[in-house]
């Protein structure tokens, strides 16, 4: 995310007004993480119910802001914050943003813009999660990583009950896309077939301009496939359909088939089946071993090794030490 305010339809101008209004009320609490290689920083703060409210954590809602531009450092963000009368911090950086191309879906908002009035074109990308849950905060906080070796038995005992307990509201933004309530103008390719179909649209991490960093996502029309573990021979037509039509979607951006990398995350950031489609020149955290599974290999494993390969395989994956799922694994180890 991915990354994704109200589920009602609004105009592009209203998108911009809404996110700017929220960001100007954002009060910084801490820098969750920073990544110099991707020029990205993640901020945690709170947004009060109105501009007249003091920032009282118990009366405000948490927000996670992602900023991506030329360079960031925690010290620089600290220098752009000033104390307020009630001892909190206001972010001058967010107050100086001039945004355009803003959009939203459920609790997620994103836009491009410039810092102040010195740039001639957008030089920053901002994404807002508001209100943010503890899961959103933990996901973006710097943390120690743990390697899990998940056998089919441990999947049944630990991971599957965790997935089954996830409320549908966590992926409401996905259903908004599939039903075309939100983001319909961003869809670049659609196959409406309820079994083997999907929609392809730009991922929120891509500004849809630089083809070398092209990042699309294919979201399945099916609601009964939640992760890699669910895939069987039954799903080969869907997987091959995505592999084929992803080439057509990428060609719209001038990216040829031999420049494509299609992969599936395990564990995924949300439990509704989707495939990541990127330019091979794009490098990111999501392509690391222990998370990304190349789609061609997934198809091969099911087709040539075993129809139920992913129900029988031991699948290693990496979890952050503050991840909600990691807590379930800790309980398993204590038994």
Looking at the annotation, which residues are catalytic? 274
3-state secondary structure 74-105: HHHHHHCEEECCCCCEEEHHHHCEEEEEEEEE
Triad 137, 143, 149: Cα angle to 5°: 110
Taking CA atoms, 229 is separated from 13, 232, 274, in Å, by 42, 8, 13
H/E run at residue 40: strand 40-47
Separation CA 136–CA 109 (nearest Å): 14
Triad 322, 157, 326: Cα angle to 5°: 5
Residue 304: HSE in the Cβ half-sphere, 13 Å Cα cutoff: 6
Spacing of C-alpha 258 from chain mean position: 25
Number of CB atoms found within 10 A of residue 296's CB: 13
Query: Residue 286 corresponds to which tokens in the numbers above?
Result: 């999501």
Number of CB atoms found within 10 A of residue 136's CB: 21
Q: Which residues of 191-228 are buried (b: 16+ CB within 10 A; e: fewer)?
A: beeeebbbbbbbbbbbebeeeebbbbbbbbbbeebbbb
Separation CA 3–CA 12 (nearest Å): 19
Query: Residue 253 corresponds to which tokens in the numbers above?
Result: 């951006």
Residue with tokens 């105009």: 11
Task: List, in order, residues 6 or more apart from 136 with CB less than 8 Å away.
Answer: 62, 64, 129
């Amino acid at each position: 995310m991915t990354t994704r305010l109200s589920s009602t339809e609004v105009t592009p101008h209203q998108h911009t007004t809404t996110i700017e209004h929220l960001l100007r009320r954002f009060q910084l609490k801490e820098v969750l993480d920073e990544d110099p290689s991707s020029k990205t920083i993640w901020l945690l703060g709170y947004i009060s119910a109105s501009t007249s409210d003091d920032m009282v954590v118990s009366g405000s809602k948490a927000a996670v802001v992602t900023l991506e531009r030329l360079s960031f450092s925690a010290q620089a963000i600290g220098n752009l914050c000033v104390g307020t009368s009630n001892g909190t911090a206001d972010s001058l950086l967010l107050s100086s943003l001039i945004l355009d191309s803003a959009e939203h879906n459920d609790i997620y908002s994103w836009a491009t813009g410039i810092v102040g009035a010195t740039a001639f074109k957008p030089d920053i990308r901002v994404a807002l999660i508001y209100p943010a849950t503890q899961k959103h905060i933990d996901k973006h906080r710097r943390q120690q990583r743990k390697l899990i070796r998940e056998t089919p038995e441990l999947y049944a005992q630990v991971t599957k009950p965790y997935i089954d307990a996830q409320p549908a509201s966590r992926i409401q933004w996905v259903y908004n896309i599939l039903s075309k309530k939100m983001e319909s103008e961003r869809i670049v390719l659609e196959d409406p077939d309820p079994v083997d179909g999907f929609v392809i649209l730009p991922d929120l991490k891509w500004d849809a301009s630089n083809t070398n960093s092209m990042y699309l996502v294919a979201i399945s029309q099916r609601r009964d496939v939640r992760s890699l573990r669910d895939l069987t021979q039954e799903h080969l037509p869907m997987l091959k359909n995505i592999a084929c039509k992803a080439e057509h979607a990428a060609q719209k951006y001038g990216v040829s088939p031999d420049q494509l990398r299609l992969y599936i995350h395990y564990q995924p950031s949300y439990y509704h089946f989707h495939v990541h489609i990127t330019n091979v020149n794009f490098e990111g955290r999501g392509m690391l071993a222990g998370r990304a599974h190349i789609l061609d290999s997934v198809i091969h494993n099911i087709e040539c090794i075993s129809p139920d390969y992913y129900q029988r395989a031991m699948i290693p994956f990496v979890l952050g030490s503050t991840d909600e799922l990691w807590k379930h694994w800790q309980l398993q180890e204590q038994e």
